[in-house]
Every structure is written in structure tokens, then in C-alpha cells.
């Protein structure tokens, strides 16, 4: 028995190393919410982040802090952290939706238990199938020449050889010219993917995806709105050389099942935040793998804590046809964790535990926090 004694959800804002341009926002700082759980005198950590506030999805930093630090804390205080399935079920039932908040608390509880047992989180989850996962980088400076320069640097450092380009904010012909120039610059040396973040309608996607494919792009993430599963299916059928990836449209296992039933994509971006924690991520991954869809270890650009939690979980789930993009900490100018992620030979490496394998830097959290601490003590 490891009773949960304290749950805190602390919002913080950490600047990025450069502006990150996406179709729906330009981000120069990341809003994260650190969830700190104390059980049996041991602390565990989880993290949720939003990209541009409630713009990538519905959840905001303020909402996540309120849901995790108040509504979910209310039902979890005094519960046994060791009873992980029961904890996750209780969290899932306590509140509708709010998957980011649920995932952050779920991760913190898993981290506490792993630390209490003196194990790596991945070992608590049954053990890793791989301790190093391929690591992509997003080129999104907003400038073609700067992106090429940045990509060359990443290749030289042997950090990344898979590049995702964020498009959809500019006219499609401008975007396609930008992507084509970068694909030409890295031809034979790096893979090029795009993420439209739902910005196109179906006719725009139908017109421009073939041009991207011809330019050498191998994967296109969420070209149309997440709800538009039939359009995803038509686009995938019309572009068989391109893997269309579901991201915003695939949060719940039911979403994943619908994409499978409608043959709406060839690849699925996993994100524990979208799926509400460990059980949801496992369910989505299982549906995708069963249907032969390629897995991608996605990110919400979390800092080190959320990134490591995802890495431990991803390492237990099987093969990643599209690798991972767990580069969030490398986009941030500072860190709320006491250790850095280990990146070499184009891969992110699983750290030794206990738990997620890093501590929380309390001074940094104090420095970057944006709100008063929300604490519920029984």
C-alpha cells in the first residue's frame, strides 16, 4: 500500500530556442504543467504541455492545472498508488475528456510507484523492447534557408536524420516550394515529412499532396481536420506512396478503431497526452498494430519530464515504423529537470531509473512557474 498524500499541478512557461512556426500558431515559449505526486514520502512527476494554449487541442494550461490539481486530486488523494490499473480507471471515470490532465497525473503516479520499487518506469511497464528509438526533428523556423542550415547542423551532430516540416500557414504553393527545396537539399541523406496540423480542406489536400509526394515527402500528418475521417480515407487511397498519419483525429481507442475501419491512414501518431495515460496509449497502439498501421512516437513538445515518461512507455510498445519525435527538451531554452535526455546516433536513449530517470529541479520550477501553486492536502 502506497497511499497518495499530495498532488500538485504547477503551470510553468519555458522559452524556446527559436520561434516554432505551426499552421495555427507561432510558439516562442512552451506552457507546461508539472504534476507532482507524493506517496509514502516519495515524489513522482508527470507533465502535460500545450502548443499555443488551447489551439492544438481543447485543453489549456490553466484547465490542465485545475483538472489535475483539483478535480482529479480530489478523487485520488488517499488512494493506493500501487494499484495502478485501479488508479487509472478512477482517473478516467472522474472527469470527462481532459486527457492531457489525466495523462500527466497518471504518469506521475506511475513514476512514484516505479521509484518506490527502485525500477525504471519501462521495467514497471513490463520492460523495454528497445532502449534506443529513432529521433526526428521539426524544421519550423519559418525560413527555408534557415531550416536547411538547421537540418545540416542536426545531421552533422548525428542528432536527427528525419525532418518534419510544419506547413499550412502559408499558401499551398509557397509551402510546397519550401518543402521541395528542403527535400532537394537533403535527398538521400534524411527523410522529409510534413505536418499540416488540420489546416487544409480536402480539395486543397487532394491537389497538393501528390506534389509533396513527388518532391520526396514520405509521410503527411493530419492534412485535414481531425473529424474528417472520410476525407483522410479518400486522400490515403488517392496517394498510396504517401503515408497519411492521423494525429489530432486519433485521441481515443474509438478514434483509432474508426480510422482502421475506414482505412483512413497508414500511420498513427501516439501521444500519451491525447490518449489520457498508459492504458489509452496501449489501446491505441494495439489497434494500430493489429491493423498493420505504422506507429510514430509523437510529442506535444513536453520538457524532459513528459518526454522521458513518453519514452519509457513507447519503449515497451513495439516497432516504430516512423520512429519518434521526442525532441521537446531540445527545443526549450531551459529545463525543469535535473538531468538531460540522452541523444546520440540519431536516437533517444532510455535512461536508467528509478522511475522516469530524472528529478525535478525545484528552483527552476519556481523561476518559470506562471501561477500560484494549486495544492489539495487531505
Q: How far is the CB of 140 from Mg ion (least distance, A)?
A: 11
Q: Does 310 bind ligand MUC (CB under 6 A)?
A: no
- By the 8 A CB rule, do 87 and 76 touch? yes
From candidates 49, 50, 239, 299, binder to ligand MUC by CB under 6 A: 299
299 binds, among ligand MUC, Mg ion, none (CB under 5 to 8 A by kind): ligand MUC
Place of cell 527502485: 118
> Considering the rule CB under 6 A, would residue 150 count as an interface residue with ligand MUC?
no
86 close to 109: Cβ distance less than 8 angstroms: no
In the three-class reduction of DSSP (H, G, I as helix; E, B as strand; rest coil), residue 274 is classed as helix
342 noted as active-site residue:
no
Residue 247 found at the interface with Mg ion (CB under 5 A): yes
Minimum distance from residue 177 beta carbon to Mg ion (Å): 22
202 is catalytic: no
**Residue 19, helix vs strand vs coil:** strand
Q: Are 218 and 191 in contact (CB under 8 A)?
A: yes
Residues 188-207: x where in contact with Mg ion by CB under 5 A, - otherwise, as a string: -------x------------
Smallest distance, Å, CB 248 to ligand MUC?
7
Q: Based on CB atoms, which residue is closest to Mg ion, 8 or 195?
A: 195
Is 247 a residue that touches ligand MUC (CB under 6 A)?
Answer: yes
- Strand pairing category for 219-221 and 243-246: parallel
Ramachandran angles phi, psi of 101, nearest 5° = -65, -45
The CA-to-CA distance between both ends of the chain, in Å, stands at 17
Q: Is 301 in the site for ligand MUC (CB under 6 A)?
A: yes
Residue 309 interacting entry, from ligand MUC, Mg ion, none, C-beta within 5 to 8 Å by type? none
CA 363 to chain centre: 25
Whether 237 contacts 262, CB under 8 Å: no
Count of residues engaged in binding Mg ion, rule: CB under 5 A = 3
By beta-carbon proximity to ligand MUC, the closer residue of 87 and 250 is 250
Active-site positions read: 166, 325
Amino acid at each position: 500500500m502506497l497511499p497518495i498524500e499530495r498532488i500538485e499541478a504547477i503551470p510553468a512557461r519555458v522559452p524556446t530556442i527559436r520561434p516554432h512556426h505551426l499552421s495555427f500558431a507561432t510558439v516562442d515559449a512552451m506552457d507546461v504543467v508539472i504534476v507532482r505526486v507524493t506517496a509514502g514520502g516519495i515524489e513522482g512527476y508527470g507533465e502535460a504541455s500545450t502548443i499555443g494554449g488551447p489551439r492544438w487541442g481543447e485543453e489549456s494550461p490553466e484547465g490542465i492545472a485545475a483538472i489535475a490539481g483539483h478535480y482529479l486530486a480530489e478523487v485520488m488523494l488517499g488512494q493506493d498508488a500501487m494499484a495502478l490499473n485501479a488508479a487509472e480507471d478512477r482517473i478516467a471515470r472522474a472527469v470527462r475528456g481532459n486527457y492531457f490532465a489525466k495523462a500527466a497525473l497518471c504518469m506521475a503516479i506511475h513514476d512514484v510507484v516505479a521509484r518506490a520499487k527502485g525500477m525504471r518506469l519501462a521495467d514497471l511497464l513490463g520492460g523495454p523492447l528497445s532502449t534506443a528509438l529513432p529521433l526526428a526533428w521539426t524544421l519550423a523556423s519559418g525560413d527555408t534557408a534557415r531550416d536547411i542550415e538547421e537540418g545540416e547542423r542536426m545531421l552533422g551532430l548525428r542528432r536527427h536524420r528525419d525532418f518534419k516540416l510544419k506547413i499550412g500557414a502559408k499558401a499551398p504553393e509557397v509551402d510546397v516550394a519550401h518543402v521541395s527545396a528542403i527535400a532537394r537539399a537533403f535527398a538521400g541523406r534524411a527523410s522529409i515529412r510534413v505536418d499540416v496540423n488540420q489546416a487544409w480542406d480536402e480539395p486543397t489536400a487532394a491537389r497538393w499532396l501528390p506534389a509533396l509526394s513527388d518532391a520526396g515527402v514520405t509521410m503527411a500528418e493530419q492534412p485535414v481536420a481531425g473529424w474528417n475521417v472520410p476525407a483522410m480515407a479518400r486522400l490515403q487511397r488517392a496517394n498510396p506512396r504517401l503515408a497519411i498519419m492521423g494525429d489530432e483525429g486519433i485521441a481515443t481507442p474509438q478514434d483509432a478503431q474508426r480510422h482502421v475501419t475506414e482505412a483512413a491512414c497508414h500511420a498513427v501518431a501516439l501521444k500519451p497526452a491525447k490518449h489520457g495515460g498508459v492504458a489509452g496509449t496501449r489501446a491505441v497502439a494495439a489497434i494500430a498494430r493489429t491493423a498493420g498501421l505504422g506507429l510514430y512516437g509523437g510529442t506535444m513538445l513536453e520538457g524532459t519530464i513528459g518526454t522521458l515518461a513518453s519514452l519509457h512507455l513507447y519503449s515497451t510498445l513495439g516497432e516504430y515504423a516512423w520512429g519518434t519525435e521526442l525532441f521537446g527538451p531540445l527545443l526549450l531554452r531551459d529545463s525543469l529537470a535535473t538531468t538531460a535526455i540522452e541523444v546520440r546516433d540519431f536516437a533517444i536513449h532510455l535512461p536508467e531509473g528509478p522511475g522516469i530517470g530524472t528529478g525535478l529541479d525545484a528552483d527552476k520550477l519556481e523561476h518559470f512557474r506562471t501561477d500560484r501553486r494549486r495544492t489539495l492536502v487531505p
